[in-house]
Amino acid sequence: MNLRLKRLISQVFFFFLTNLGWIKLHIGGKLTPVKTGFCYPFFYCHACPASTSACPLRAIEIGVFRGNWNWRFILYPLLIIGFVGVITGRAVCGWACPIGLLQRVTGKVPQKLKKKYPKIKKIGQMKIEPYFRYIKYIIFISLVVIIPIWIGFMFTDVCPIGFLVGTIPISILNPGGFVPNAFFYIALVVFILFLILIFTIERGWCRYFCPIGAMLAPFNKISIYHVEVDKEKCVHCNACSKACPMGIDVPNMNRDPECILCGKCIEACPKNVISYKRSI
């Protein structure tokens, strides 16, 4: 079984595991949706009718809301993400995250657009492009932590993922009872921009805007599992870089924070000099 198929099976498995909330159990004489009390180690919204766990960003926002510190809400998601990060770095982005699966589906479109429209291809080749990747860190620090402390506004109020898996399904399931909140139209605009992004740039959300990616990225430097290139045997054909959905310069990377361990570079390498490595 090749890596591509293994990754697809993993992504589909975690997608269904993430959405087990549609199953209802008899608890205390009434039907209750499956809820784990767990916190997702990737990007997904607790507002989804089928969700089983909490959004880590929402938990942190509640934990710092208006300076009323609740360390349980802050530390719980940080410890879970830290635990996963130390073991696999950003591998959950490539192997488990449902939004990663979504971008796997939409990723074919940017690939075709790059071939048809050279200007789109140039977006990823601009000298300032690497600096765009810091946006996700700014979003996490400002919109998830600082602004909720100061004014109470939360990133998850306008989150495009929440709109996709929360607002849209809820409005469909409750056509007469759905009442848009004060942030509905802002969230709608953000969601439209999100769709434009993922249909224009492969893994655009993961590259530039995902706050969970920002939390996991630093762990790539110390994670037990990582992708390694044998630079002495590398012929620099750049087949790996062309295959990389994150736009990484693979031959020259050294535990790059942007690597999602998807394995596409491993499959693309004609000399088999790229592989998964375990530090311990």
The Cα–Cα gap between 57 and 148 comes to 11
Task: List the helix and strand counts (H, then E) for the chain.
Answer: 17, 4
Per-residue pLDDT of 44-81, as tens digits, reads 999 999 999 999 999 999 999 999 999 999 999 999 99
Q: What is the mean pLDDT of the chain?
A: 92
pLDDT at 33: 77
Per-residue pLDDT of 151-164, as tens digits, reads 988 899 999 999 99
Per-residue pLDDT of 224-234, as tens digits, reads 999 999 999 99
pLDDT at 206 over 80: yes
pLDDT at 35: 81
Cα torsion through 124, 128, 129, 131, rounded to 10: 170
Per-residue pLDDT of 244-264, as tens digits, reads 999 999 999 999 999 999 999
pLDDT at 112: 86
pTM of model > 0.85: yes
Higher pLDDT, 177 or 242: 242
What value does the mean pLDDT take over residues 178-204?
93
Contacts of 222 (CB under 8 A, 6+ apart): 86
pLDDT at 161: 96
pLDDT at 125 over 80: no
Q: Where are the domains of the chain?
A: 3-226, 227-274
pLDDT at 28 over 70: no
Lowest mean pLDDT among 20-34, 84-98, 174-188, 265-279: 20-34
Residue 228's SS3 state is strand
Per-residue pLDDT of 135-150, as tens digits, reads 999 999 999 999 999 9
Range 227-274 classified under CATH 3.20.20.70: no
What value does the mean pLDDT take over residues 125-133?
87
pLDDT at 32 over 80: no
- Residues of the chain with pLDDT > 70: what percent? 98
* Ranges of H-type helices in the chain: 3-18, 56-64, 71-88, 91-95, 98-106, 108-116, 118-123, 129-132, 135-139, 147-150, 160-162, 168-173, 184-200, 204-208, 211-216, 239-243, 264-268
pLDDT at 26: 66
Cβ-in-10-Å burial (0-12, 13-18, 19+) of 273 comes to middle
What value does the mean pLDDT take over residues 132-136?
96
